[in-house]
Amino acid sequence: MDLTKFFKAKSIAIIGVSKNPNKIGHVVFRNLLDGHYPGKIYIVNPNADRVLNYRSYKSVLDIKEPVELAVCCVPAELSLQALEHCGKKGIKDVVMITAGFREIGNFKLEEKLVKILDKYKIKIIGPNCLGTLDAHTKLDTLFLPRYRMKRPKPGSISFACQSGAIASTILDLATTEGYGFAKVISYGNALNVDESDILEYLGNDEETKVICLYLEGIKHGKKFIEVAKKVTKKKPVIAIKGGITEAGSKATLSHTGSLAGNAAIYSGMFKQVGIIHAASLEEMFNAARILEKAVQPKGNRVQIITNGGGYGIITTDAIVNNNLVLANMDEKNKKALRKVFPPIVVVSNPMDLVGDATTERYRLAIDAALNDNNVDILIVLVLMQTPLITPDIIDIISEFDELRKKPIICVATGGEFTMTLRKSLEENGVPCFTFPESAVRAVKQLVEYYVDGKK
């Protein structure tokens, strides 16, 4: 299924643009304007002549020029006529934000909608969805105002999410933390464009490097399995399944009209097709961060470098608990380090550079681990609060990471000063974490995809 127009359309008609700035259609219209969408925008409202100095059409049929994508924002009872007009106009792709169908038990209205879609061969994302976003083309049909929900910078993570609420809040938070996105798709009831179609499209999308999925149900199981097997061979797919408890399953049915299914079955299926199964939204995006930025590891041997003994111990426990291996550096390299380090430095694993560690001490330690054949991955923990650590630590870690020899993952916990330096590292492409446990769990998922999965 070709979904290109949902992200690359050069002309958009928004059906249901009120003069009221709080109405959904007006918000979508304003978002496209404020986001500097470069294509042509047409607005439809039979009761207005102009909105924000744009001509308002009575119907899409009155628009003389071709329209590649329509966004339907009218109430459910008016949506059938709007879709009928789209079909007659020749619009084959529609984002339908409108709710009020299967999810509230209105099956008859949805059946009528399906007949119109089949009649005119219209592809629809929705109904009952938040909309779509392409950060590269600035095509933004999300119905939340830009001043309330930040839009991300262009990146290579794509997020397909059945829930509009989860899509909006996670996107807002992830954007604030500096994530870059390629595409965001809230697909709601998945009427004739489902999660399998979206996954297949993202699998072939050159701008997407990592795919994140939030699923409440899967419409066509066999189709999804076949698509997922192909896509996971090309790029990482991380999924979280909503509705894994009995109560959550009931909530899923009333939310998007999806049948949730057994949690164990989903877990087994994810493993079978090569999907990384995340236990939480936080874990999903931690995995996305490391899979997007880190170089592919050759093995699972991890070297810890730290200037805080307690943090080294916690990280060691996490490595063991996640079935990773503590690296054992070559004795020649350890001997060379002992010659240049003070006697109080523990040259082992974890390598404890102690509280008076300097930036230069980190440089020597990272250089040695990076060039040691017994080390596959580096976890570098930096207590930025210690007085001899200078901001130059950012340049040193970033320059080593740019060599693309081995994955370097940084952990830095702290307040404003630490957060500023951590953000600089992220901007330079180094995956950073606040806590060691989160970092190690993400490393495990990196290893599972590239080493255990032999991608």
The answer to whether residues 205 and 260 belong to one domain is yes
Distance of CA 320 to the CA centre of its chain: 28
The answer to whether residues 160 and 171 belong to one domain is yes
In a domain, 133, yes or no: no
Residue 354 class from Cβ within 10 Å (0-12 exposed, 13-18 middle, 19+ buried)? middle
The answer to whether residues 375 and 236 belong to one domain is no
The answer to whether residues 235 and 305 belong to one domain is no
In a domain, 282, yes or no: yes
Contact residues for 5 (Cβ-Cβ < 8 A; gap 6+):
68, 69, 92, 93
In a domain, 31, yes or no: yes
- Which residue among 235, 269, 293 closes a domain? 293
Domain total in the chain: 3
Q: Which domain range does residue 103 map to?
A: 1-128
Q: What is the pLDDT along the chain (455 residues), one digit of tens a residue?
A: 999 999 999 999 999 999 999 999 999 999 999 999 999 999 999 999 999 999 999 999 999 999 999 999 999 999 999 999 999 999 999 999 999 998 888 999 999 999 999 999 999 999 999 999 999 999 999 999 998 998 999 999 999 998 888 999 888 988 888 889 999 999 999 999 999 999 999 999 999 999 999 998 888 999 999 999 999 999 999 999 886 555 544 554 444 454 445 677 888 899 999 999 998 889 999 999 999 999 999 999 999 999 999 999 999 999 999 999 999 999 999 999 999 999 999 999 999 999 999 999 999 999 999 999 999 999 999 999 998 999 999 999 999 999 999 999 999 999 988 988 988 999 899 999 999 999 999 999 999 999 987 55
The answer to whether residues 409 and 288 belong to one domain is no
In a domain, 249, yes or no: yes
The answer to whether residues 320 and 412 belong to one domain is yes
In a domain, 137, yes or no: no
The answer to whether residues 326 and 277 belong to one domain is no
Give the Å distances, CA to CA, from 154 to 73, 135, 163, 391: 26, 5, 22, 27
CATH code at position 349: 3.40.50.261
- In Å, the largest CA–CA distance within the chain is 82
In a domain, 350, yes or no: yes
Task: Catalogue the E-assigned strands of 224-344.
Answer: 237-241, 276-277, 301-306, 325-326
Q: What is the pTM of this model?
A: 0.90
**In three state form, how does the secondary structure of 116-158 look?**
HHHHHCCEEECCCCCEEEECCCCEECCCCCCCCCCCCEEEEEE
The answer to whether residues 430 and 310 belong to one domain is yes
The answer to whether residues 389 and 402 belong to one domain is yes
In a domain, 124, yes or no: yes
The answer to whether residues 124 and 157 belong to one domain is no
The answer to whether residues 283 and 320 belong to one domain is no
CATH code at position 96: 3.40.50.720
- Which residue among 275, 293, 311 closes a domain? 293
The answer to whether residues 283 and 317 belong to one domain is no
- Which residue among 260, 293, 326 closes a domain? 293
In a domain, 309, yes or no: yes
